[in-house]
Amino acid sequence: MGQLPKRCLFCEKNITGIYVKELGSYLFRKCYCTGTGEYEITEEAYERLNARPHQQKREQYPLVSGYIREMCERQEQVKLVTDDLSFILESPGIPRTLEAKKNKCLVYLYRHSDRPEDPVVLDPIQSAYNLTYSPNLQEFIYILEELKASKLISRMGSTLRLTPKGWEEAARLTEGKSGRTVFFAVPGASPAAEALRDTVIPQLDENGYAAVIPPAAAELPGHSRDTLEQIRQSDLVIADLSGSDPKVCFEAGYAQGTGVRVVYICHQDDSPEPGLSLIHPGQPLRWSTPQELADKLTAYLAAGAS
């Protein structure tokens, strides 16, 4: 194990990295991603990610930085073995809207306060924008000003405080969620896949529902035990019949067999195969735009269908 100067790819801070020769990995500590924690990245992954185009880095690496920061605060291990970042970039926990990013900020302040008006110092504030997964400081400051205008926080320089109103809202976000899990059985090529990532999952997350999407590479019948366990532990399975994917049919059928309620969706321009009526009585929930799908599912869940 040796020390050497190294730059974190995701927050761009120069630090003294630790190289673990027997693992072929670097340990990054005391960068803007980790706080008092650390993350591990293999030497090969570091070189591959460092060689990526600048535009790709600018779009993706702030999200990775925010993810690492949040995981380190939860004292969860972060290890990047390959240059495949999809498990982070497609995570339902990543905020996709300004509203979701505001909520991340409120929850962060709540975790670091004992009561309303407790000061939380962001030092340095110009490097704290990964707190909200923001791509730059400008967006982060805009989020803070929006929260301040809504009287949810007060701010003086780098010191933030939750107002009583902000404390109440943060407590609701942290403690008042239903804690329900929704498993999405969706083909990778389905029009619903992009809609879920960009619109549906953020909206469900804001309403207290944790989304679970299995890896697209899962095959029939070789589903991993983890995937089947996720289905058993879910409160609801949403199955996309667009394309009549056998993997989706297997997951929906497995859910029904274990007593988990299943809701079927299908894009209005697609039609499931007639034989699928055996596993879904009635008509699937039809949608045309991502926002329509998000609104219909939110309304369905709010009605207590799960």
Pairing of strands 153-156, 119-121: unpaired
Round to the nearest angstrom and report the end-to-end CA distance of the chain: 51
Mean pLDDT of 250-266: 88
Residue spans of beta strands (DSSP E) within 220-278: 236-240, 261-267
Mean pLDDT of 214-230: 60
Q: Are residues 196 and 293 in the same domain?
A: yes
- The structure tokens listed for 1 are 């194990």
Q: Tell me what pLDDT residue 278 has.
A: 43
Q: Are residues 246 and 284 in the same domain?
A: yes
Total domains in the chain come to 3
Query: CA triplet 38, 44, 56: central angle to 5 degrees?
Result: 80
> Chain-wide mean pLDDT for the chain?
84
Mean pLDDT of 248-255: 87
State how far the Cα of 224 lies from the Cα of 216, in Å rounded to an integer. Answer: 12
Does 19 or 50 have the greater pLDDT score? 50
List, in order, residues 6 or more apart from 286 with CB less than 8 Å away.
Answer: 265, 266, 267, 268
Amino acid identity, residue 141?
A: I
Q: Tell me what pLDDT residue 221 has.
A: 43
Q: Are residues 206 and 158 in the same domain?
A: no
Q: Tell me what pLDDT residue 152 has.
A: 96
For tokens 């003294």, name the residue.
Answer: 16
Residues spanned by the domain of 201:
180-302
Q: Tell me what pLDDT residue 225 has.
A: 66
Q: Are residues 205 and 278 in the same domain?
A: yes
Pairing of strands 285-287, 261-267: parallel
Q: Tell me what pLDDT residue 57 has.
A: 96
Return the C-alpha torsion angle 195, 197, 199, 205, nearest 10.
140
DSSP code at position 277: G
Q: Are residues 16 and 64 in the same domain?
A: yes
Helix (H) or strand (E) holding 286: strand 285-287
* CATH number of the domain within which 147 lies: 1.10.10.10
Q: How confident is the model at residue 129 (pLDDT cuts 50, 70, 90)?
A: very high
